[in-house]
């Protein structure tokens, strides 16, 4: 994040690589998912309903209250964005059910691939276009970003198991791809923020603070719902830890680009929260 901010003039020019890096990262992480092992549970229905319905509901509520389009979009994307694949790793360290989390992570990403084209056809920068035109603009991007990596991983598992196992054994590749993507997107976001007039500073601060509130709320609500379903850790991590890189890319492409400040700030908040959780978990184990 610091490198991306400091070297924004250079790395920001590499923004065109972001979709390919994110797709490659998801492909590597999808090889960790065994389709036959996926099981839908009660916990997933509540999590998915929150992700899709609360995000849209809050957007329309905030716009109706006169909060402003940019802040409303920032709040929406922070809830609507799918669960991060890395959440499974952190969840496992905290004692979550890995199978439960893996299933929802895949479900969450696929749900965004299906619903985002419809949502962004009515909310965002392409609402003046015919519905089918706007729908296809978003869908073709998400087919590349989410659906194609999963389909490729599933086909490789069936028809090229040796290659699949090789990629599966090298999950660290996804970390390096994530780092490069993060540097580039932080650089392009910094460039965008610096280009904004001074009047936008207040909006940026509100977006950053809103992301913090939403981050903590999603972790807490997820743990509450997970507790009712017998796995509070899975609930908290699945709802709270988000694929912020995909959210930034979608916000910059289809919403008011300034709204991308919210998911960019969410990166900081969720990593701070995860660090606190891991520290607390370690202390509890010592006791």
Q: Domain with 123 in it: what CATH number? A: 1.20.1530.20
Least confident of 32-41, 108-117, 142-151, 233-242: 32-41
Residue 2 has pLDDT above 80, yes or no: yes
Q: Buried b vs exposed e over 146-177: b needs ≥16 C-beta within 10 Å?
A: bbebbebbbebbeeeeeebeebbeeeeebeeb
Contact (Cβ atoms closer than 8 angstroms) between residue 265 and residue 134: no
Q: Does residue 271 form part of some domain?
A: yes
Does residue 134 carry a pLDDT above 80?
Answer: no
Mean pLDDT of 191-200: 82
At 132, is the pLDDT very low, low, confident or very high (cuts 50, 70, 90)?
confident
- When divided into structural domains, the chain yields a total of 1
Angstrom distance (rounded) from CA 204 to CA 46 = 31
Is there a domain that residue 196 lies in?
no
Structural domain contains residue 218: yes
Q: Which residue has the higher pLDDT, 136 or 217?
A: 217
Whether residue 124 is contained in a domain is answered as yes
Query: Is the confidence at residue 221, as pLDDT, over 90?
Result: yes
Per residue in 108-122, pLDDT tens? 988 888 898 888 888
pLDDT > 90? residue 166: yes
- pLDDT attached to residue 51: 96
Residue 190 lies in a domain: no
Q: Does the pLDDT at position 176 exceed 80?
A: yes
Note the pLDDT of residue 235.
Answer: 93
The residue-averaged pLDDT of 242-258 equals 87
User: Would you state the pLDDT for residue 65?
Assistant: 95
- For residue 247, pLDDT over 80 is answered with yes
242 DSSP β-pair partners: 83
Query: CB-based burial of residue 128 (10 Å sphere; 0-12 exposed, 13-18 middle, 19+ buried)?
Result: exposed
144 domain-assigned: yes
pLDDT in tens, 5-38: 889 889 888 888 888 888 888 888 778 777 666 7
What is the pLDDT averaged over residues 184-188?
Answer: 83
What is the rounded average pLDDT for all residues in the chain? Answer: 86
Domain span at 257: 33-149+203-286
Report yes or no on 154 lying in a domain: no
| Domain annotation covers residue 15 | no
Asked whether residue 287 carries a pLDDT value surpassing 70, the answer given is no
Selection from 267, 273, 279 nearest residue 216 by Cα: 273
- For the chain, the straight-line distance linking the first and the last C-alpha, in angstroms and rounded, comes to 34
pLDDT the model gives residue 205 = 94
* pLDDT above 80 (res 103): yes
Residue 37's pLDDT is 66
């Amino acid at each position: 994040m610091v490198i991306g901010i400091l070297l924004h003039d250079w790395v920001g020019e590499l923004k065109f690589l972001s979709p390919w890096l994110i797709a490659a990262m998801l492909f590597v992480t999808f090889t960790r998912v065994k389709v036959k092992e996926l099981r839908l549970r009660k916990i997933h229905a509540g999590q998915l309903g929150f992700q899709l319905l609360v995000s849209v509901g809050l957007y329309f509520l905030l716009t109706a209250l006169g909060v402003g389009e940019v802040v409303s979009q920032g709040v929406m994307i922070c809830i609507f964005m799918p669960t991060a694949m890395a959440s499974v790793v952190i969840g496992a360290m905290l004692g979550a059910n890995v199978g439960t989390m893996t299933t929802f992570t895949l479900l969450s990403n696929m749900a965004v691939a299906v619903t985002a084209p419809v949502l962004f056809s009515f909310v965002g920068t392409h609402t003046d276009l015919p519905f089918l035109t706007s729908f296809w603009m978003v869908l073709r991007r998400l087919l590349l970003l989410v659906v194609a990596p999963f389909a490729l991983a599933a086909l490789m598992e069936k028809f090229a198991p040796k290659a699949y196992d090789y990629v599966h054994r090298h999950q660290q590749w996804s970390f390096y791809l994530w780092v490069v993507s993060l540097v580039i997107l932080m650089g392009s976001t910094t460039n965008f923020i610096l280009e904004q007039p001074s009047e936008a500073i207040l909006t940026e601060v509100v977006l950053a603070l809103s992301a913090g509130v939403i981050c903590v709320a999603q972790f807490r609500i997820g743990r509450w719902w997970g507790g009712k379903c017998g796995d509070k850790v899975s609930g908290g991590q699945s709802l709270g830890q988000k694929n912020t890189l995909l959210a930034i890319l979608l916000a910059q492409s289809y919403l008011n680009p300034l709204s991308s400040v919210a998911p960019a700030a969410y990166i900081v908040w969720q990593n701070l929260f995860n660090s606190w959780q891991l520290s607390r978990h370690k202390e509890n184990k010592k006791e």
